[in-house]
């Protein structure tokens, strides 16, 4: 862990100053940042793999009150996937090894990060709201057609049991999909979903995930509190046993609103020690003045469960 933090450089100590520095860059005009808001099929090459990705412009433009942004591919996603699947600083120091378990928040219909990174890790869990999962599973299956493994969904015991809505879905290769709504779902059942001991069990047994990924999930104030809370809860699943590294939280985003970014960073910094990934550790398309930024967070000691 010390080697990784040394490579990342100085942590963010003042969220307001960090927001000022990020928005002092020459930010290209990218509108909202869709790859395409009209195409129903995208042909992309990411991390050396040709991908055919279905998306839903119709759903994007619908009036669904719970949100529609996951229906299409956003510009930062293939760029982030290219970087995270490369021999980057996290891979160098063992956080993206063949034994690693990765969980992504707000993966969207495309599954591009999952498809790019999954071949390098033990297990990849792609999570999002229910409206995303059907098209997500189609994209995963069509890009891993020979490895699709059907899995029967578990029936919910009660429609009112919103806190236990997490459920198993189809498994594609070593990619699993999981329903996770930040405002409705508890993360407490994630260890059981992963086949692990609960956090109250033997602290030498692995619990939780090694890396938590969120790619372009922060775009309005209403999402900040549930997003940060969910990140902290998932990272808190990891035992404080000295035999386990803490969960690394990676947040990639397009730079849009100063107010939203600053509010997110203040909330995130409250629970996490935070680093901005420096230019020398990322690909050219994500460096300063690109309009994108990546931060790494590690849950603060005082926010972790007691040993």
**Phi, psi torsion values for 274, nearest 5 degrees:** -125, 140
pLDDT at residue number 153: 36
Gap between the Cα atoms of 282 and 80, Å rounded: 9
| CA-based radius of gyration for the chain | 18
HSE-CB at 187 with a 13 A cutoff on CA atoms is: 26
Mean pLDDT for 266-280 is 97
Mean pLDDT for 33-54 is 89
Looking at the chain, the whole-number percentage of residues with pLDDT higher than 70 is 79
pLDDT at 298 over 90: yes
Tokens representing 179?
A: 């329903």
pLDDT at 94 over 90: yes
pLDDT at residue number 131: 87
pLDDT at residue number 301: 79
Mean pLDDT for 83-98 is 96
pLDDT at residue number 57: 77
Residue 188: CB partners within 8 Å, gap ≥ 6?
Answer: none
pLDDT digits (tens, 9 = 90+) for 203-222: 556 789 999 999 999 888 99
pLDDT at residue number 158: 36
Neighbouring CB atoms inside 10 A of 269's CB total 21
Looking at the chain, the whole-number percentage of residues with pLDDT higher than 90 is 63
Pairing outcome for strands 123-128 and 175-179? parallel
Mean pLDDT for 41-62 is 86
Global pTM reads 0.87
59-68, 106-115, 128-137, range with the lowest pLDDT: 59-68
Mean pLDDT for 120-149 is 85
**CA 23 from centre of chain:** 23
Gap between the Cα atoms of 2 and 139, Å rounded: 38
11-25, 195-209, 240-254, range with the lowest pLDDT: 195-209
Report the b/e string of 130-139 with b at 16+ CB within 10 A. Answer: ebbbebbbeb
- What SS3 state is found at 213? strand
pLDDT at residue number 63: 62
Mean pLDDT for 284-305 is 88
Ordered alpha helix ranges (H), 46-146: 57-60, 76-84, 89-92, 112-117, 130-143
Gap between the Cα atoms of 299 and 307, Å rounded: 15
Neighbouring CB atoms inside 10 A of 99's CB total 11
149-163, 265-279, 282-296, range with the lowest pLDDT: 149-163
Neighbouring CB atoms inside 10 A of 171's CB total 17
- Name all domains of the chain by residue range, CATH numbers in brackets: 1-144+170-299 (3.40.50.150)
pLDDT at residue number 278: 98
User: Using alpha carbons only, what angle is made at residue 255 by residues 226 and 114, rounded to the nearest 5 degrees?
Assistant: 65
* 145 touches 164 (CB < 8 A): no
**Mean pLDDT (the chain, rounded):** 84
- Pick the most confident of 112-126, 129-143, 226-240: 112-126
* 107 touches 114 (CB < 8 A): yes
Gap between the Cα atoms of 250 and 274, Å rounded: 10
Mean pLDDT for 25-39 is 79
More reliable by pLDDT, 252 or 197 = 252
| pLDDT-derived band at 238, boundaries 50, 70, 90 | confident
| pLDDT-derived band at 34, boundaries 50, 70, 90 | confident
Tokens representing 193?
A: 């979903």
Sign of CA dihedral 192, 193, 196, 199: negative
Gap between the Cα atoms of 46 and 62, Å rounded: 29
Gap between the Cα atoms of 194 and 104, Å rounded: 14
Neighbouring CB atoms inside 10 A of 4's CB total 18
pLDDT at residue number 139: 94
pLDDT at 304 over 80: no
pLDDT digits (tens, 9 = 90+) for 138-188: 999 999 755 443 333 333 333 333 333 344 444 557 999 999 999 899 998
| pLDDT-derived band at 79, boundaries 50, 70, 90 | very high
**Phi, psi torsion values for 96, nearest 5 degrees:** -120, 45
């Amino acid at each position: 862990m010390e080697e990784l933090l040394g490579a990342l450089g100085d942590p963010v100590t003042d969220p307001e100053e960090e927001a000022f520095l990020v928005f002092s860059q020459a930010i290209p005009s990218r509108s909202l940042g869709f790859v395409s808001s009209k195409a129903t099929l995208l042909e992309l090459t990411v991390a050396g793999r040709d991908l055919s990705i279905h998306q839903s412009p119709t759903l994007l433009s619908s009036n669904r009150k719970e949100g529609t942004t996951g229906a299409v591919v956003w510009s930062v996603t293939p760029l982030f996937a290219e970087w995270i699947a490369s021999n980057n600083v996290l891979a160098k120091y063992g956080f993206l090894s063949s034994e690693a378990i990765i969980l992504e928040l707000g993966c969207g219909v495309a599954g591009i990060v999952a498809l790019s990174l999954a071949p390098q890790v033990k297990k990849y869990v792609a999570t999002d709201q229910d409206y995303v999962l059907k098209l997500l599973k189609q994209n995963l299956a069509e890009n891993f057609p020979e490895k699709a493994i059907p899995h029967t969904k578990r029936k919910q015991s009660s429609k009112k049991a919103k806190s236990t809505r997490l459920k198993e879905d189809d498994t594609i290769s070593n990619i699993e999909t999981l329903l996770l709504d930040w405002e409705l779902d508890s993360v407490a059942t994630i260890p059981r979903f992963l086949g692990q001991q609960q956090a109250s069990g033997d602290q030498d047994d692995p619990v939780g995930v090694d890396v938590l990924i969120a790619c372009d999930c922060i775009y309005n104030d209403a999402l900040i509190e549930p997003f940060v809370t969910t990140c902290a809860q998932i990272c808190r699943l990891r035992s404080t046993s000295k035999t386990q590294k803490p969960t690394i939280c990676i947040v990639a985003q397009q730079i849009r609103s100063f107010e939203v970014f600053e509010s997110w960073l203040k909330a995130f910094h409250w629970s996490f020690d935070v680093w901005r990934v420096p230019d020398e550790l990322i690909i050219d398309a994500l460096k300063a003045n690109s309009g994108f930024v990546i931060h790494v967070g590690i849950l603060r000691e005082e926010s972790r469960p007691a040993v």
